[in-house]
Chain A
Amino acid sequence: MIKGTIFNIQKFAIYDGPGLRTLIFMKGCPLRCLWCQNPEGLTLNPQLAYHDRICIHCHTCVKVCQLNVIKIEGDDTHIIDRGKCNMCRRCINVCPSGALSVIGREISVDDLIKEIERDMIYYDSSGGGVTFSGGEPLFQPQFLYESLKKCKELSIHTTIETSGYANQQIFKKISEKVDLFLYDVKIVDEELHKKYTGVSNRKILSNLRFLVMSGRGKDIIIRIPLIPTITDTDENIGNIMRLLLSLKDIEEVHLLPFHDVHEKYNYLGMTYRMPIHQQLKIERIKSIKEEFEKKGFYVSLWGVK
């Protein structure tokens, strides 16, 4: 039985592909984008999360922890030493408010499909389906492939939200089971891509070209994260534009403006390395949108029509 790790299942999603959808957030990602908006998807392993705003400060967690992972300091602040934690889950089980939780759980393909099938009637009526997001869904290729295959057997429309970072063989096999790709193009310059995401973009671009060459261009929507001074530079936007124009059949672009999500990092005890915190000015977003539109692309923000 193949198992995968996911960190959320969201029903009634309306912005991630056509119709009404179920969104599967898969855990684990080979990239380390500075601005990552879903840090809970970065590592494959389950993580201990602590929401201080929900916490009722009952200190039950401190009492049950045998490894002294959680300490109370000063004005009732919970200090969590995740390095010591062996994920025994005792604290999570007793936490009455739910302030402590585990991000990430293993699930078998069959159980996942059962969960997806619960909203079948909504997909049928609305032309919706399932969207695998993350993290990077391609990071768990076997699990993703088996899940997609089962979905197709059930005539469920499939979408993946992906960075495109995978070996071509794997990518090719999986792409046959995907109806729609929400495909990230972040930075065209290879060196800058490495600098800000931790990996080269060669595989990403070659997989994109492969898709287009095999006639799947119409099944791709390009998603561009607009990160101030990193991806929104005139040079990078120009590069992306030229790249997309050189690829035939791509018609639609989603722009994803940056948000400061440092709180999410705090919950997980992770470090937010993004030096910029301001959002992009609406004028700048509009002007980028217009540039793409001038070239004949259909553009929307956050995928909202």
Chain B
Amino acid sequence: MTILNESIVKEVERRRERIKPFNERIARLRELTTQSIVKVSVERAKLLTEFYRDHIREGLSIPVQRALAFKYLMENVSLPVEPGQLIVGIRGTGVNEVPTYPEINLHTVDDLKILNEREIMPYKVTYEDIKIYEEEIIPFWKGRTIRDILFVNMSREWIDAYEAGIWTEFMEQRPPGHTAGGERIFKIGVLDIKKRIREKISQLDRKDPEYLEKLEELKAMDIVADAILIYAERYAKLLSDMAEKETDSERRRELKDMAEICRWVPANAPRTFWEALQHYWFIHVGITYETNPWDSFTPGRLDLWLYPFYKRDIDEGRLTREKAKELLACFFLKFNSQPAPPKVGVTHEESSTYNDFSKINIGGIREDGKCNVNELSYLILEVYDELRTLQPNFAVLVSEKTPDNFLIQALKVASAGFGEPPFFNHDGVIVKMLRQGKSLEDARLSGVSGCVESGAFGKEAYILTGYFNLPKILEITLNNGVDPRTGKKIGLETGKPDEFKNFEELWNAFLKQVKYFLDLKMEGNDIIEAIYAKYMPVPFLSLWIEDCVENCKDYNVGGARYNTQYIQMVGLGTVTDSLVAIKYHVFENKTFTMSDILNALGRNFEGYELMMELLRNPEKTPKYGNDDDYVDDLAVRIVKTLSELVESYPQSPTRKASKRVYWLPTTVHVYFGKVTGATPDGRRAGFPVSEGISPVQGMDRKGITATFNSVAKCDWDKTGGALLNVKLSPEIFEEENVKKLVQAIRSFFRLGGHHVQFNVISTEVLKEAQKRPKDFQDLMVRVAGYSDYFVKLPKALQDEIIARAEKKFI
């Protein structure tokens, strides 16, 4: 066997041997969630259609209609129970059976067929179900979906920019969500909320101009509260019946216990660790049945919220560490049984992901400002380490107060190379929250959800509106407003670039284009927010996010304590390197003229190969990510300018949301790359642009501290978060070295970094996996803010991951 093969075998073994479900029950349940085929389940769509067609009374307000529809679902959906599970409730008809949301985005027959047939990430649909869609669901919802309403209301300019790939629109496929559960969930029951709703109704002032809206919303909230009680009660009854018939005495006792738990929660505040998990899970299922919200939902700071239950149960002898571990494993596997809902308008090539981005936070700071690392934090790490499933995702919150040992343990988990868990600067998140005007306590209880998004957990609607393609806007600037891909003029005429006399003229032109497109996007965002407020209230989610009940306002109308609207910037590396390449070679060293570069870009460097080599060579052209102030200063300027620009927009009229910036790409840098022509940093047309705030793939050559230093020069405290990917070779995780890595992370965060995640893998293995995907099915890698199966990623993304510079340490 060659050395290469040996190292591959070793690595694959290293990964596989990390998966150790700690008992038979967990092993079986894990297998069920990882092996079950992902299917589309039409039950929800069918029930919803039935309800709106046959059961709706005239004259009901939209919130009440939506609430009754939710109740109808809770009364009628299937009640699957996985063999051996200790937590019940699934959104859908079974493990990996995913409902659709025709009121938001309506799948066509073609969509369903493609989802069924495509090789990458299929969603199987039966012929009968397609027929149901064709005959019942499509005819009823066609033209009435949120997606239809949204596009009808966008301007021509908006549509042009959208189609050119200047941005993506989050709200066209899924409704807001983008929030996390807070302590409220674990402290109160549905009956407590119902009591508060009645009080609020009795206190409503009839002279209040919003009286009617508030009343209707409170009514809707009360209906959905009843609905979840019905769902829990149905489960309680089912579990009792199952217990009667169960022959295994141990399982019979479990089923009886579970039935009892379902009779107590979510009606009442949980009293035990087990109840707390089941309580949250009912709410999670409810929220993900109500709509298909972005990033599904998450319990947020799980070790913080659960610790009192854990401590009390252990102290009083109700729980052992082992039992807690089993319950946590059961709980985590529930997340893995709910793949992301399938998109509409899909193509065969499009892969998307089954990951629905629910992110559990551990570590960080408590409400009183003290370190939150506790026994449960370690236990959660341990359970993840043994399970290694796609979902849920994790986040390690690092503070100055976090002990090194916790980070060492977390890095050991990360060393297996699955990409989880990523690390976040919690002190920095708190600074961000305080800057945005949150109270100190709310700031300390904050965390990160989705990919890297900071938010006040349980109290904030921080809604992501779309990715923004900076390299494409530079391309349009260099073409004086025209998109060279289509020849269409979609931007402003900001001047012929070969007439620019200095770099500042180019910069100003670029900034003008950015401002023009941001104006369009922001205008669209506010309209879309109004559409969701009017047509898609979410009373059930609103029960759990403070202060929706207190304000008698829906989450989508601005009921949350804090309201924010985010835009996600993409391509910092590509746009910085491109601008610097022009500054350095055209205006300063006069290596080329602007016309030379424009000609080369226009021809995708055909016939200009030497120029391309020079432009993409870090020895010849300064590159972001190498701790070189010449280029990093420009990155700093871009980040600062965009924060200021976005924050200069007025609050949204509907939710009174302030406008802010995230820097994260998920996988969109591949799509943005496809629609963007050659760029002055030597990137050919169609190749991915840089992701997050990471340097352009392969351009950071000075080691991880230089990358950290470059990144940390930018002021991330004025953003909501930014994503940095670093690829490491496995030896850095060896005993003594891992302590050094801990200090490197701590230093990066002291300097002002927000997030870092590690892909621990050798390029040889990835290349081999590309060649023999069948043998590497379980190879999970960090993509961008989440992990995914490598062989299921599109080729371009695979190539991109391989290209990320492998840091050398020896």
Contact = CB atoms under 8 A, between A and B. Distances in A.
A51 B774 CA distance: 37
B705 interface: yes
Nearest to B737: A14
B610 interface: yes
B810 A12 contact: no
Contacts of B709: 118-119
Contact of B747 (A97, A98, A125): A125
Contacts of B731: 304
Contacts of A126: 739-740, 743-744, 747
Contacts of B735: 305
Interface stretch (B236-244, B364-372, B611-619): B611-619
Contacts of B612: 96
Interface string B740-780: 10011011001100000000000000000000000000000
B208 interface: no
B610 A96 contact: yes
A79 interface: no
B736 interface: yes
A20 B740 contact: yes
A15 interface: yes
Contacts of A12: 703-706, 744, 807, 809
Interface in A275-305: 302, 304-305
Contacts of B16: none
A20 B705 contact: yes
B613 A96 contact: yes
Interface string A111-124: 00000001101101
B702 interface: yes
Contacts of A124: 747
Nearest to A122: B747
A262 interface: no
A101 B619 contact: yes
Nearest to A97: B613
A56 B743 CA distance: 40
Contacts of B619: 98, 101
B703 A11 contact: yes
A10 interface: yes
A249 to B, nearest CB: 23
A96 B617 CA distance: 7
Contact of B617 (A20, A98, A125): A98
Nearest to B610: A96
A11 B744 contact: no
B747 A96 contact: no
A19 B737 CA distance: 9
A288 B691 CA distance: 48
A137 B104 CA distance: 69
Contact of B743 (A13, A20, A60, A118): A20
A245 interface: no
A243 interface: no
Contacts of A96: 610-614, 617, 620
A125 B610 CA distance: 43
Given A96-B620, A98-B619, A126-B743, A14 B732 contact: yes
A15 B810 contact: yes
Given A14-B809, A305-B735, A125 B613 contact: no
A302 to B, nearest CB: 7
A58 interface: yes
A98 B809 CA distance: 22
B610 A58 contact: yes
A257 to B, nearest CB: 13
Given A97-B613, A118-B627, A305-B736, A11 B751 contact: no
A302 B407 CA distance: 26
Given A14-B740, A20-B743, A98 B620 contact: yes
Contacts of B614: 96
A176 to B, nearest CB: 28
Contact-residue bracket for chain B: 20 to 34
Contact-residue bracket for chain A: 20 to 34
Nearest to B627: A118
Contact of B744 (A20, A56, A118): A20
B810 A302 contact: yes
A96 B750 CA distance: 38
A11 B610 contact: no
B206 to A, nearest CB: 61
Interface in A13-61: 13-15, 19-20, 56, 58, 60
Given A98-B619, A125-B743, A126-B744, A56 B706 contact: no
Contacts of B734: 304
A39 B133 CA distance: 72
Contacts of A304: 731, 734
Contacts of B740: 14, 19-20, 126, 128
Interface string A92-112: 000011100100000000000
A99 to B, nearest CB: 10
Contact of A125 (B703, B736, B746): B746
Contact of A119 (B609, B613, B705, B736): B705
Contacts of B737: 14, 305
A10 B627 CA distance: 12
Contacts of A56: 609, 613
A138 to B, nearest CB: 24
B744 A15 contact: no
Contacts of A60: 610
B744 A122 contact: yes
B735 to A, nearest CB: 7
Nearest to B613: A96
Interface in A106-163: 118-119, 121-122, 124-126, 128
Contacts of B610: 58, 60, 96
Nearest to B618: A98
B478 to A, nearest CB: 22
Contacts of A121: 747, 750-751
Nearest to A127: B743
Most chain B CB inside 10 Å of its own CB: which residue of A12, A19, A118, A125: A12
Contacts of B620: 96, 98
A126 B709 CA distance: 16
A122 B705 contact: yes
Most chain B CB inside 10 Å of its own CB: which residue of A11, A56, A126, A128: A11
A122 B744 CA distance: 6
A124 B747 CA distance: 9
A181 to B, nearest CB: 20
Contacts of B704: 11-12
Interface in A53-79: 56, 58, 60
Contacts of A97: 613, 617
Contacts of A122: 705, 743-744, 747
B155 to A, nearest CB: 45
Interface of B: 609-614, 617, 619-620, 627, 702-706, 709, 731-732, 734-737, 739-740, 743-744, 746-747, 750-751, 807, 809-810
The 9 closest A-B pairs by CB, nearest first: A96-B613, A126-B743, A11-B703, A12-B703, A305-B736, A125-B743, A96-B614, A98-B619, A121-B747
Given A11-B703, A15-B809, A126-B739, 6 more contacts: A97-B617, A118-B709, A121-B747, A125-B750, A126-B743, A304-B731
Interface of A: 10-15, 19-20, 56, 58, 60, 96-98, 101, 118-119, 121-122, 124-126, 128, 302, 304-305
19 contacts: A11-B705, A12-B704, A14-B740, A14-B809, A20-B743, A60-B610, A96-B612, A98-B617, A118-B705, A121-B750, A122-B744, A122-B747, A124-B747, A125-B743, A125-B746, A126-B739, A128-B743, A304-B731, A305-B735
